[in-house]
Amino acid sequence: MLTVLLGLIGLSIVVIIHEFGHFLAARALGVEVETFSIGWGPRLFGFRKKGTEWRISAFPIGGFCRMKGEEDFKKALEQKLPHIPAEKGSFYGAAPWRRILILASGPVANVIFAIVMFSIVSFVGMTIQTAPNKIVLASDLASVSATTDKAPADAAGLVSGDIIAAIDGKTVRDYSDLQEMIGLNPGKTLMLKVERQGSTLRIPITPRLDKNSGQGLIGIYAWVEPVVSSVDPQGPAAIAGIRQGDVLSAINGKPIANTIGLLAALESKPENVALTVLRNGQAQTFRLVLSFAGSGQSNLGISFASLSRTDKASSLFDAIAKGGKETYSTFLMTAKGIGLLFSGVNVLKAVSGPARITYLIGSTAQESIHASGFAGIPTIMSFLAFLSISLFLMNLLPIPALDGGQIVLSLVEIFKRKPLLTKTIYRFQFVGAAMIIALFFLATFSDVLFFAGK
């Protein structure tokens, strides 16, 4: 319930910011706002000020800004009027250029919100847990090497232990940078600067499109040193005697150099293993009794040391500059993601509906606060900024019933220099409604599969 509540709050913040942008523009351009509601459905309570009813509604999901004249379209259809009545102070009574500004103001408000959120995050700093930019080939795992398709990393000649220092001339600080640069460029040939045993190599590689996520993959994992950072008191490792600070060196007598080596040794699902660790420079061996989940994973009850990186601006002006840059980068990334929907990705896995978005916001908030307390708030803010940019882009798509579709109608009206026929607008909106309903059912079905674990 807490996850759902936090998710609803987060989603509502982004939507309300969007609607408030419409409100401010409408008031500034002479269009009366009849109602501004936080939430949907029946009115719970509220007040009236300067001609606008401000209210809290029953269903706490987003909100809406209802302008004067929004019902005039319905009346024009019912009364078979050739044009929508242009009543003074109404949305359809405003000049087309004014309507365009009002429609665009919601998405613009989302961009401003994203810049503010990213700037605050940059100013206070955000710490992420990652790993070094040293890699392990995924093919080191038997389950991966058994597949028929050769991974791009193997085809390019990368080897486990390589350090990827730069991509296309841009420095790679850690595995998080590596994931981002690879993930955002499926199908694009990248030039890697690779450090291998004292030598520097330049290796071209083309990430493969993962049709389930829309990301680029090359078939690598992070090289994580097998240093135990924490032990679950109830897990097999603790029961056997493994302690924090132990360094795993072998399993069943076979040396392991990283955590992927440990996973490789457990692929056969052994019932028990002999785990050798270095403790204070001395080798000790412990026998662990294991169990495996249906997914094939075994919870040893061990966490391994990660690399912490804190990104923080040097000043307020630097924070604002970084906030703008991050907003632009997120815009490009989101636009590219929307484009990939038409590149053969599995839309049932790549598209999220309201239920999954709410869950993701809530789980991100809950996990961040649980792991870092108030220090986890920047992670939540970054997620909301990302969602705000997504809302900006989606609303400006030229789809009827969305802001972008309404802007198209207003542009056509400017071009024709006369109001559009009611039936023309109806046909346009009918197509849009059909598209939105289809997208809603697609996203809902996607959410059902997600929560069903499929």
The CATH number for 186's domain is 2.30.42.10
Residue 17 placed within a domain: yes
Report the distance separating Cα 60 and Cα 180, nearest Å.
Answer: 34
CB 186 within 8 A of CB 163: no
Report the distance separating Cα 120 and Cα 319, nearest Å.
Answer: 7
Q: State the alpha helices, DSSP H only, in 224-258.
A: 236-240
Report the distance separating Cα 199 and Cα 77, nearest Å.
Answer: 74
CB 240 within 8 A of CB 287: yes
Tens-place pLDDT, residues 128-139 = 888 999 999 998
Residue 330 placed within a domain: no
The answer on 253 and 194 residing in a single domain is no
Residue 414 placed within a domain: yes
Tens-place pLDDT, residues 372-411 = 556 667 878 888 898 899 889 888 888 777 888 889 888 9
Active-site residue among 19, 32, 326, 413? 19
**Is the predicted pLDDT of residue 86 greater than 60, yes or no?**
yes
The answer on 114 and 22 residing in a single domain is yes
Contacts of 232 (CB under 8 A, 6+ apart): 238, 299, 301, 302
Question: Pick the residue with more confidence: 425 or 432?
Answer: 425
The pLDDT of residue 444 is 67
Residue 355 placed within a domain: no
The answer on 97 and 43 residing in a single domain is yes
* Mean pLDDT computed over 263-284: 87
The answer on 26 and 106 residing in a single domain is yes
* Helix (H), strand (E) at residue 203: strand 199-205
Question: Pick the residue with more confidence: 325 or 373?
Answer: 325
Tens-place pLDDT, residues 342-353 = 666 666 666 665
**Amino acid code (one letter) for 231:** V
Question: Pick the residue with more confidence: 333 or 6?
Answer: 333
* Mean pLDDT computed over 34-57: 91
The residue out of 279, 294, 309 marking a domain boundary is 294
Residue 217 placed within a domain: yes
Look at residues 231, 205, 213, 184 and name the one whose alpha carbon lies nearest to residue 135.
Answer: 205
In the three-class reduction of DSSP (H, G, I as helix; E, B as strand; rest coil), residue 375 is classed as: helix
Tens-place pLDDT, residues 219-240 = 999 999 999 998 988 888 889 8
Active site residue 19: yes
The pLDDT of residue 109 is 96
Which of 62-71, 239-248, 250-259, 285-294 shows the lowest per-residue confidence on average (mean pLDDT)? 285-294
Tens-place pLDDT, residues 153-162 = 999 999 999 9
Domain count, the chain: 3
**What is the phi/psi pair of residue 87, to 5°?**
-75, 145
The answer on 438 and 398 residing in a single domain is yes
Q: pLDDT confidence of 34, banded at 50, 70, 90?
A: very high
Contacts of 153 (CB under 8 A, 6+ apart): 135, 137, 138, 139, 205, 218, 219, 220
Sequential DSSP letters for 35-67: EEEEEEEEEEEEEEETTEEEEEEEEEEEEEEEE
CB 37 within 8 A of CB 48: no
**Amino acid code (one letter) for 321:** A
Global model pTM greater than 0.75: yes
The answer on 67 and 175 residing in a single domain is no
Query: Whole-number mean pLDDT of the chain?
Result: 84
The answer on 92 and 28 residing in a single domain is yes
The answer on 232 and 187 residing in a single domain is no
Residue 368 placed within a domain: no
Report the distance separating Cα 156 and Cα 182, nearest Å.
Answer: 14
Contacts of 68 (CB under 8 A, 6+ apart): 31, 32, 33, 34, 87, 89, 90, 91
Alpha carbon 7 to its chain centroid, in Å, reads 14
The answer on 109 and 155 residing in a single domain is no
**Is the predicted pLDDT of residue 103 greater than 80, yes or no?**
yes
How many C-beta neighbours within 10 Å does residue 388 have?
27
Range of the domain at 243: 228-294
The answer on 199 and 217 residing in a single domain is yes
Residue 322 placed within a domain: no
The answer on 280 and 191 residing in a single domain is no
* Mean pLDDT computed over 180-205: 92
Which of 6-15, 170-179, 319-328 shows the lowest per-residue confidence on average (mean pLDDT)? 6-15
**Is the predicted pLDDT of residue 424 greater than 90, yes or no?**
no
* Mean pLDDT computed over 8-21: 88
The answer on 117 and 6 residing in a single domain is yes
Residue 246 placed within a domain: yes
The residue out of 294, 313, 347 marking a domain boundary is 294
The residue out of 197, 222, 247 marking a domain boundary is 222
